[in-house]
Amino acid sequence: MIAVMIAGATSMLLALIGTRYLITFFRDRGKGQPILGKEDLGPEHHMSKAGTPTMGGLAIILAALIGWLVAHLRPGIAISDQAMIMWVGVLVMAAMGFLDDFIKVRKAHNRGIFWKKKSYITLGLSILLAWWLVASTGVAETISFTRASFPGWNVPWPVFVIFAGVIVWSTSNAVNVTDGLDGLAGGSAMMGFVAFSIIAYWAFRNPHVYGAIVNPLDLAVFAAAFGGACAGFLWFNAAPARIFMGDVGSLGIGTALALLAITTDTQLLLILICGINVMEAGSVAVQMGVFKASGRKKRLFRMSPIHHHFELIGWPETTVIIRFWIISGICAAAAIGIFIGDFTHVTDNL
């Protein structure tokens, strides 16, 4: 538990310092986030935010990495192959996001050069990452809810690799979609990482039930490091935001959440843990489906993702953010309750 706390506290402090530095760095150079206007069907009511420093996700990723490493200075905690592969995946996806952010800022337009192809590229990277994780570690190759044996659906390993890859791809893009209001993505992700910290540490303390999870203590440290980093970043990202996380942050954070679900055998529980992200990404899919089915004449929401819909019907931005945080907190708490409830059911029958 001490290592988990060290990771969270260290990363939070470093994220506070790093985010403050990035604000000054980008502001002094006049580099900020461009906002899509009416001509691009973007949220023109956010045009006043144009020029706000972006790429703050760099502070989150680096603070989490250092916090995770510092926690391993404590004796008895090994750096696992599993976590190393997870870090490679997070850094690769974050680098993809950084490239897109850099191009957006340089071109002063909120669409990077890969905006049409980015989805396909991230899907390919996600499947490669899932293959590496399955081929090189002892991660359970079953589709699970709260543990490898529940429901424990066994599928051929190629199917599991594709399944895991789609999880990484969909979660990273869902967090990216959620990152449209000040602090929304960072706050909801922080709650998700707290949930995974509890789940992984619980698994570490009860190996007789969760023996299929490889190095659960390292996974708990990994999750705590990201949770602390999100908290530190949120200090400056909360409305009115002084910096945005950018794609470098949203893609990296989404990848970390998905990989934690895969390695803790809670792939299906991820739907609840990241409930707000599912709602946001789902609103985009539904909006597109209705729009195409109606011959490009009708829309279900005034604008998607759904947080913009609530803004356009009159909710202040801070109201949308806080209410969505409440939903996210309820989802994370419910997921933890289900996980512990299942544990209680198992142990009562031992």
pLDDT of residue 32: 64
Identity at 114, one-letter amino acid code: F
Q: At 11, list the tokens.
A: 């990363």
Q: Give CA–CA dist 113/35, Å, rounded.
A: 16
The mean pLDDT value for 141-164 works out to: 91
Owning domain of residue 119: 80-223+234-348
- If pLDDT is split at 50, 70 and 90, which confidence band does 57 have? very high
With respect to residue 117, please indicate whether it lies within any of the assigned structural domains.
yes
- If pLDDT is split at 50, 70 and 90, which confidence band does 40 have? very low
pLDDT of residue 311: 87
With respect to residue 30, please indicate whether it lies within any of the assigned structural domains.
no
Q: At 271, list the tokens.
A: 């739907």
Q: Give CA–CA dist 267/260, Å, rounded.
A: 9
With respect to residue 338, please indicate whether it lies within any of the assigned structural domains.
yes
Give DSSP secondary structure letters for 142-188: EE-SSBTTBS-EE--HHHHHHHHHHHHHHHHHHHHHHTTSTTHHHHH
With respect to residue 33, please indicate whether it lies within any of the assigned structural domains.
no
Place of tokens 């970390």: 256
What pairs with residue 147 in β-bridges? 150
- If pLDDT is split at 50, 70 and 90, which confidence band does 312 have? confident
Q: What are the C-alpha distances in Å from 305 to residues 231, 295, 330?
A: 24, 20, 20
pLDDT at 9 over 80: yes
Domain total of the chain: 1
Q: Give CA–CA dist 196/178, Å, rounded.
A: 19
The mean pLDDT value for 256-281 works out to: 95
Identity at 121, one-letter amino acid code: I
User: Could you read off the pLDDT of 67-91 as tens digits, one per residue?
Assistant: 999 999 988 788 889 999 999 999 9
With respect to residue 24, please indicate whether it lies within any of the assigned structural domains.
no
With respect to residue 326, please indicate whether it lies within any of the assigned structural domains.
yes
Mean pLDDT of the chain: 89
Q: Give the 3-state secondary structure percentages of the chain, helix then strand then coil, rounded to 5.
A: 70, 0, 30
Q: What are the C-alpha distances in Å from 299 to residues 10, 174, 197, 292, 296?
A: 46, 20, 39, 9, 8
With respect to residue 47, please indicate whether it lies within any of the assigned structural domains.
no
pLDDT of residue 49: 63
With respect to residue 178, please indicate whether it lies within any of the assigned structural domains.
yes
pLDDT at 99 over 80: yes
pLDDT of residue 345: 86
pLDDT at 41 over 80: no
Give me the sign of the Cα torsion angle 73, 74, 75, 79: negative
Cβ atoms of 11 and 63 within 8 Å: the answer is yes
pLDDT at 217 over 50: yes
Chain centroid, CA 276 distance in Å: 11
The mean pLDDT value for 259-277 works out to: 95
pLDDT at 218 over 80: yes
Place of tokens 């996806």: 93
pLDDT at 38 over 70: no
Burial of 182 from C-beta contacts in 10 A (0-12 / 13-18 / 19+): buried
pLDDT at 21 over 60: yes
Give φ, ψ of 297 to 5 degrees: -120, -30
Count CA atoms within 13 Å of residue 102 on its CB side. 7
- If pLDDT is split at 50, 70 and 90, which confidence band does 93 have? very high
pLDDT of residue 300: 84
For Cα atoms 49, 303, 324, give the angle at the middle one, nearest 5 degrees. 70
Q: Are strands 142-143 and 153-154 parallel, antiparallel or unpaired?
A: antiparallel
The mean pLDDT value for 97-121 works out to: 74
Chain centroid, CA 106 distance in Å: 26
Cβ atoms of 314 and 262 within 8 Å: the answer is no
Secondary structure class of 40 (helix, strand, coil): helix
pLDDT of residue 45: 54
**How big is the chain, counted in residues?**
350
pLDDT of residue 101: 84
pLDDT of residue 66: 97
pLDDT of residue 75: 83
pLDDT of residue 294: 82
User: Could you read off the pLDDT of 282-298 as tens digits, one per residue?
Assistant: 999 998 888 888 887 78
